[in-house]
């Protein structure tokens, strides 16, 4: 089956502001567990996920001072 993925839209964050977001994934045609993960998470940011079907994840981070990446 096809995995249904719910992600946040693009957001701009002011320097020093906190950004939080959630991600959800499910496969209604399967009982298999889905695993969410993040790579290249910036310093000071975090992402934690709970596998399952549906799987959920949440991330947060504060935009540091300096030029935008």
pLDDT digits (tens, 9 = 90+) for 22-31: 999 999 999 8
At residue 57, the pLDDT reads 97
Higher pLDDT, 10 or 59: 59
CB 64 within 8 A of CB 44: yes
Is the peptide bond between 15 and the residue preceding it cis, with omega within 30 degrees of 0?
Answer: no
Q: How many Cα atoms occupy the beta-carbon half-sphere of 26 within 13 Å?
A: 6
pLDDT tens-place string over residues 18-52:
999 999 999 999 989 999 999 999 888 999 999 99
Global confidence as pTM: 0.77
């Amino acid at each position: 089956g096809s995995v249904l993925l719910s992600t946040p839209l693009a957001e701009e964050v002011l320097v020093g502001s906190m950004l939080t977001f959630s991600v959800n994934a499910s496969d209604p045609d399967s009982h298999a567990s889905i695993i969410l993960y993040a790579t290249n998470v910036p310093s000071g940011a975090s992402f934690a996920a709970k596998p399952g079907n549906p799987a959920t994840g949440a991330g947060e981070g504060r935009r540091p001072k300096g030029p935008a990446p």
